[in-house]
Amino acid sequence: MKSIKIASIIVGTIFVVYASVGILQLWFEIIEWGTFVKISITAMVIIIVTFGLAMLYREYIEEKKMKEDKYID
């Protein structure tokens, strides 16, 4: 469960930073739009990979625990 907590903190931080940059970009155009699109895609990829890795890790730990407790072979 610790992996999910860490992933949630990372993703939450990315969401807050991205939302702030997005609002500033809409109102003040602080960076070029092409760069903003690249940042958007990068943020999306980081979020997906972070949650994906956390889910894989959690499944691995749960399966390992079930094997140790002899629920599965």
Maximum Cα–Cα distance for the chain, whole Å?
59
Position 9 pLDDT exceeds 80: yes
Position 58 pLDDT exceeds 90: no
In this predicted structure, what is the pLDDT of residue 61?
83
Enumerate residues 6+ apart whose C-beta is below 8 A from 36.
Answer: 21, 22, 25
Do the Cβ atoms of 19 and 65 come closer than 8 Å? no
Run of H or E residues at 1 = none
The C-alpha atoms of residue 7 and residue 10 are separated, in whole angstroms, by: 5
Higher pLDDT, 15 or 68: 15
Written as six digits, the tokens of 65 are 């625990």
Q: What pTM value is reported for the model?
A: 0.77
pLDDT tens for each residue of 12-54:
999 999 999 999 999 999 999 999 999 999 999 999 999 999 8
In this predicted structure, what is the pLDDT of residue 38?
97
